[in-house]
Amino acid sequence: MKRLIILIVALFIMSFSTGLMANPDDSVNVQPKEEKDKEPSIGKYSICPSVKISGELDTCLRCHDYKMRLREVKEDEWRTYPNSMMYVIGDVGYFNLSDIKAASVKEFFDYLRQHKIKTAVFNIESWGGSLIEGWAIVGLMMEFQADGIVETQCQGMAISAGFLILSAGTKRLVNPNALLMWHELWSLKFLAIETPSSTERDAKTKRWLQDTANQFLAEHSKMKKEEIDDAVKDGYELWLTGAEAVKKGFADGFIK
């Protein structure tokens, strides 16, 4: 019986010694489970575990969520805009112009200035609108052009005030098959009482507005003012394709 007990003890000692020899540093390598499974920490300044780039938290989270999974969202998803017609990609601001409304365009330019963005692109698809609102938008564009660039583009249609705005761009690009049109000023009156003098004053005001607009277009094209006058007088309209607009100098080239 004594021999059996001694044999068991000897076998136990040999087994324990073999384990120590196989992994003498086992106590050093053992880590608590919570440390091993811990997710990468994200501080205000951190290194993104996916792309290994150091940066601020909001920069990292533009393309990843808090678990470092790649987001499938728009590049500008993190931005909050003052209106739905605009968006920003990189260092370029874009505005989809259909309604001729100066208030939303002002919000666009104010946002670009606030974020130090120097390049603006107008995507014009417009049937036109108020000439006064059109001039206001041209004025806002000219203010921004003092230290920035306003590129105007038209894929489909730029009519009336939309054509005026297209012509005012720092760089003007069109689809060769786009349709562009300029015409005389329209006004509607209903149940209005007129006198000869009031009619004369009204005619002079309209003529001044028309001459001012035609002169502006002449200065931004290869056409002379007299040619534009003749093209739109007596209710006629000046229609151009994008390709014709490039030839006549209303546009600088084609959208690539």
Tens-digit pLDDT profile for residues 129-144: 999 999 999 999 999 9
In this predicted structure, the answer to whether residue 82 has a pLDDT above a threshold of 80 is yes
For residue 225, give its domain range.
81-192+202-256
Note whether residue 20 is domain-resident. Answer: no
Residue 116 and residue 45 share a domain: no
Count of the separate structural domains present in the chain = 2
Residue 129 and residue 163 share a domain: yes
> pTM to 2 decimals?
0.70
**What torsion do the CA atoms of 13, 19, 23, 24 make, to the nearest 10 degrees?**
-10
Residue 242 and residue 159 share a domain: yes
In this predicted structure, the answer to whether residue 67 has a pLDDT above a threshold of 50 is yes
In this predicted structure, the answer to whether residue 166 has a pLDDT above a threshold of 50 is yes
Quote the percentage of the chain above a pLDDT of 70. Answer: 67
Over residues 166-181, mean pLDDT: 98
> Could you read off the pLDDT of 100-114 as tens digits, one per residue?
999 999 999 999 999
Note whether residue 6 is domain-resident. Answer: no
Residue 105 and residue 137 share a domain: yes
Note whether residue 16 is domain-resident. Answer: no
Note whether residue 35 is domain-resident. Answer: no
Residue 256 and residue 151 share a domain: yes
Confidence of residue 250 (pLDDT cuts 50, 70, 90): very high
**Choice between 4 and 83, residue whose per-residue pLDDT is larger:** 83
Residue 154 and residue 128 share a domain: yes
**CB contact burial 134-173 (16+ within 10 A = b; e otherwise):** bbbbbebbeebeeebebbbbbeebbbbbbbbbbbbbbebb
Residue 213 and residue 162 share a domain: yes
Note whether residue 5 is domain-resident. Answer: no
Confidence of residue 159 (pLDDT cuts 50, 70, 90): very high
Residue 126 and residue 51 share a domain: no
